Chain A
Amino acid sequence: MSESERQFERLSVFKTYKLYVGGKFPRSESGRVYEVSDSKGRWLANAPQSSRKDARDAVSAARKAFGGWSGATAYNRGQVLYRVAEMLEGRREQFTAEVAASEGISKSKAAAVVSATVDRWVWYAGWTDKIGQVTGGANPVAGPFFNLSTPEPSGVVAVLAPQDSSFLGLVSVVAPVIATGNTAVVIASESAPLPALSLGEVLATSDVPGGVVNILSGRTAELAAPLASHQDVNGIDLYGADESLAKELEIAAADNLKRVLRPSPMDFSAAPGTDRLTAFLETKTVWHPTGSLGASGSGY
């Protein structure tokens, strides 16, 4: 056998997982990483270990994106979210492998999880232009007024993603937040952040404007504290916090009157309902004078 015919083993190309902040993929400002391993303790990858400054930068990015995203028409938001589902579908194999490794389930089970996740995106994409009719509407009042209530997004929402369900759980808490026009700063599952970090790559290649979703990996407690006390964060979803941490964060969040969604265990495989959609909505009510009612019974 000649030299040229000898088979060389190809070197593996390892992926550098990075944060997703403001539509870009930075490393952590702190330069730290931590080891992520699979359910059997084998090394999978190094993930960035974000610092509170990364959290601050993510909030700035989310605030910057809020005007455009909340101002987009609900129909447009729905289309953009559907596009995310399309992009997820194209990356099915990658997510299946990551979910299987992270959660210690078989390939076929992981594939089912990924399918459920894509379906969850589609489901929430459909809600963007319907939630207004469900939670808002005309109110009967005793006076010559149109009285209309419409739900409006709260603003920047910090989301502590579920610790165990690294992909379906993640999407089940993030999608409803952004579907209604909020922007999100997401703290990925501490032990299984890889699907979340890959989701950032999907969002970057769909039509979601940069900053609408910002994904941080690292120690949940370290990142959640500055977000809970941050004066420019309007709401916080504590799903991924344990009981003692949740209590601490709730106290910090109460200090600046954040809207808080307490952790309550959820079966992600079941139909989700609209609770998470309405959690970060504020109702705006407008009184519009109709003027004196004429002979026709109408002044307008």
Chain B
Amino acid sequence: MGGAPLADVTSSDSSLRRFLHGLPGVDAVGLEARAASLGTRSIKTTAKAYAIDLAISMIDLTTLEGADTAGKVRSLAAKALHPDPTDRTVPTTAALCVYPDMVPTAVASLAGSDVKVASVATAFPAGRAALAVKLADVRDAVAAGADEIDMVIDRGAFLAGHYLKVYEEIVAVKAECGAARLKVIFETGELSTYDNIRRASWLGMVAGADFIKTSTGKVAVNATPANTLLMLEAVRDFRAQTGVQVGVKPAGGIRTSKDAIKFLVLVNETAGEDWLDNHWFRFGASSLLNDLLMQRQKLATGRYSGPDYVTVD
């Protein structure tokens, strides 16, 4: 929960609005320039090897398709446990991210390992359902053994300015989560402005999010370096103000090792080393893992690898 300094901002819709609209405006040009300049850092040799393994350990290996089958989830679970079957020194991924009905399969496949089971819930990805339905969705996933819940906020309410409604929904979902960690998805591609992303970040954190997450991966614009940088600034400032640390998860559109390493540079230079751990930073991705593995093989053998040498999802 938000610490004492922010306790009064959620007392009414107007005080919450006053607080969120009182946050400093985002310098869009400056933000994008900063994200772009951090993206030019050259990470090589041992630092690259470290970054690749760290990135692998931060992946929420995700399958969120209508066509998901239990078999697909099981094979992805096997991949999460042993990303490269030919090399047991590769770390496991952080979690396996599935739809709620696939949670039992995922839990059974990952039993006895450190890999967490994350489940999207609250009528993912649109979030257009009654609150009772969303809460039942969460309860189901938690009861089935999910360690983490990825919820979507009500973007319609947020954009219409009903911040308290969004806040109360997050609080209600958080209450259903119990011991499970809650990731709050803003769908940044639908929030239109950087100012909105900053407001949503603070709103989510005040409401008790354990993680703030960029997007569902189901819309045209997903995680970008700029919106992730903005959210990293928010979690840094939030901890400075309240002492509570919140994680960040960019999701969607991160496909290459180069991209992933750029995000890690953003984390290190913005939020700091405390976030360079899969407890506090995640990648929502699926194809990224294969590229990281190919880069890892390249570092180990000196030869460029190819898609024939990693598993097909």
Q: Spell out A's residues near B (CB within 8 Å).
A: 56, 59, 63, 226, 229-233, 255-256
Contact = CB atoms under 8 A, between A and B. Distances in A.
B308 A232 contact: yes
Contacts of A56: 304
A282 to B, nearest CB: 15
A228 B122 CA distance: 51
Interface of B: 297, 302-309
B302 A231 contact: no
A229 B307 contact: no
Contacts of B309: 231
A59 B303 CA distance: 13
Contacts of B302: 229
A59 B307 CA distance: 12
Nearest to A255: B303
Contacts of A256: 303
Given A230-B306, A232-B306, 16 more contacts: A59-B304, A63-B306, A63-B307, A226-B303, A229-B302, A229-B303, A229-B304, A230-B303, A231-B297, A231-B304, A231-B308, A231-B309, A232-B304, A232-B308, A233-B306, A256-B303
Tell me the dominant secondary structure on chain B's binding face. loop
A232 to B, nearest CB: 3
A266 to B, nearest CB: 29
Contacts of B297: 231
A232 B305 CA distance: 6
Contacts of A63: 306-307
A229 B302 CA distance: 9
A239 to B, nearest CB: 22
A77 to B, nearest CB: 24
A226 B303 CA distance: 7
A230 to B, nearest CB: 4
> What are the 8 tightest A-B residue pairs by CB atom distance, in nearest-first order?
A232-B306, A229-B303, A231-B306, A230-B304, A231-B305, A56-B304, A231-B309, A231-B303
A231 B303 CA distance: 7
A256 B301 CA distance: 12
Contacts of A226: 303-304
5 contacts: A229-B302, A229-B303, A230-B306, A231-B309, A233-B306
B235 to A, nearest CB: 34
A255 B307 CA distance: 17
Nearest to B302: A229
Nearest to B303: A229
A255 B301 CA distance: 12
A247 B304 CA distance: 20
A230 B297 CA distance: 11
Contacts of A229: 302-304
Nearest to B304: A230
A7 to B, nearest CB: 48
A255 B309 CA distance: 14
A87 to B, nearest CB: 32
A233 B304 CA distance: 9
A226 B301 CA distance: 12
B63 to A, nearest CB: 23
Contacts of B303: 226, 229-231, 255-256
A238 B33 CA distance: 45
A276 to B, nearest CB: 24
Contacts of A232: 304-308
Contacts of A230: 303-304, 306
B274 to A, nearest CB: 33
A231 B305 CA distance: 5
A232 B309 CA distance: 9
Contacts of A233: 306
Nearest to A56: B304
A63, A231, A232, A255: residue with the most chain B Cβ atoms closer than 10 Å: A231
A59 B298 CA distance: 15
A232 B294 CA distance: 11
Contacts of B305: 231-232
A56 B305 CA distance: 10
B292 to A, nearest CB: 16
Contacts of A255: 303
Nearest to B309: A231
A84 B313 CA distance: 38
- Residue of B305, B306, B307 contacting most chain A CB atoms (<10 Å): B306
Which of B303, B305, B307, B308 has the most C-beta atoms of chain A within 10 angstroms of its own C-beta?
A: B303
